[in-house]
Amino acid sequence: MNDNVWVVALAAAVSVGTPLTLAAVGEILAERAGVLNLGLEGMMLLGAVCAFLAADAWHDPWLALLCGIVAGAALSLVHAFLSITLRANQIVSGLALVIFGTGLAEFLGQPVEGDRRGASFVAVHMSGLHDLPIVGPVAFGQNVLVYVTVAVVAVAAFYLRRTRAGLALRAVGESPETADARGIRVARVRYVHVLLGGVLAGFGGAYQALARVPSWSQAATTNGIGWIALALVVFASWKPWRALAGALVFGFALRANFTLQAADITFVPAEFLSMLPYVLTVLVLVALSFGDLRSRAGAPAALGVPYVRDER
């Protein structure tokens, strides 16, 4: 029964949802610190192309992963500098990151555009467990980065809720004046978490390049999942575990094309299936806006607002 199209689709949703989870958790950390980084798509793309190029050059998947992470992190620092130190408009800065990141990724990736090769991270089969019905392939037949991602989610959730540093982080996003008065270095906390956001977005992009898409193509490698991850943050009320759950739903939608074909459901044109995740995201965002208070319950109060100490 594990060959059933729906089980396959579910297993695939986990894999497709993984980069979404990574990017969303990274964004949760940055936004909890009060910095909105719309540049996810740019950081993911740059992470993806750097990971792809590194994999071609050195044939070491872990090194390639590291390159992707460094690339995402480096780009996030640009945003951190502009929005925290220079107090530029965070929205425009994030958009600039997407435009620059996309352009740079395309520029760097141009020599290898369209090259094909196998995935660097392949699914591990845990003998015995993998043969369990449904849960087997879904939970025990994934590549190793999927398990790393679950660990990242767990650590992030614990960090936010239970640790001293997590408390300081949340205070910086809720009320930087208070955090400052308590001796917390607001700018440093913000830098660190924007950087972590870049690390995870770069990780997500590298995952796309190393475990999912076997060839580099600027348009197809991330294809807007950075934006979906942004919506996912709202959907998840800025909570990591909810981001993971939401990523599975969106992962399922992103695979709808293949799933319905496999299930011999062909009356819906392919283009409409491709629209599905974006339309779904818009609908979810709008639905969340009803019941005003509930949707914004998790939004950090100082999100997007630069912090200046001496305002006189």
Contact positions with other proteins (CB under 8 A) in 47-86: 78, 81-82, 85-86
Q: How far is the CB of 307 from other proteins (least distance, A)?
A: 12
The reply on whether position 134 binds other proteins by CB under 8 A is no
Q: Which helix (H) or strand (E) holds 87?
A: none
Position 275: which residue type? M
Among residues 214 and 298, whose Cβ is nearest to other proteins? 298
Q: What is the rounded CA–CA span in Å between residue 211 and residue 274?
A: 21
Sites for other proteins among residues 148-167 (CB under 8 A) = 162-165, 167
How many of the chain's residues bind other proteins (CB under 8 A)? 72
For residue 226, which of 19, 29, 48, 34 has the smallest C-alpha distance? Answer: 19
Among residues 122 and 294, whose Cβ is nearest to other proteins? 294
Among residues 117 and 185, whose Cβ is nearest to other proteins? 185
For residue 195, which of 303, 76, 43 has the smallest C-alpha distance? Answer: 76
Binding part of the chain for other proteins, among 9-17, 136-144, 148-156, 224-232 by CB under 8 A, reads: 224-232
| Residues linked to residue 215 through DSSP beta bridges, in sequence order | 116
> What letter does residue 134 receive in the DSSP assignment?
T
The reply on whether position 286 binds other proteins by CB under 8 A is yes
Q: How far is the CB of 61 from other proteins (least distance, A)?
A: 24
How many of the other CB atoms lie within 10 Å of CB of 169? Answer: 25
Binding part of the chain for other proteins, among 54-62, 66-74, 115-123, 276-284 by CB under 8 A, reads: 276-284
How many of the other CB atoms lie within 10 Å of CB of 153? Answer: 23
The reply on whether position 115 binds other proteins by CB under 8 A is no
Give the three-state DSSP class for 72: helix
The reply on whether position 93 binds other proteins by CB under 8 A is yes
- The mark string for 174-213 relative to other proteins (x by CB under 8 A, - otherwise) is xx-xxxxxxxx-----------------------------
The reply on whether position 290 binds other proteins by CB under 8 A is yes
- Residue from 104, 112, 119, 123 touching other proteins (CB under 8 A): that is 104
For residue 193, which of 160, 226, 225 has the smallest C-alpha distance? Answer: 160
For residue 75, which of 46, 95, 53, 50 has the smallest C-alpha distance? Answer: 46
Among residues 10 and 276, whose Cβ is nearest to other proteins? 276
Q: What is the rounded CA–CA span in Å between residue 228 and residue 174?
A: 24
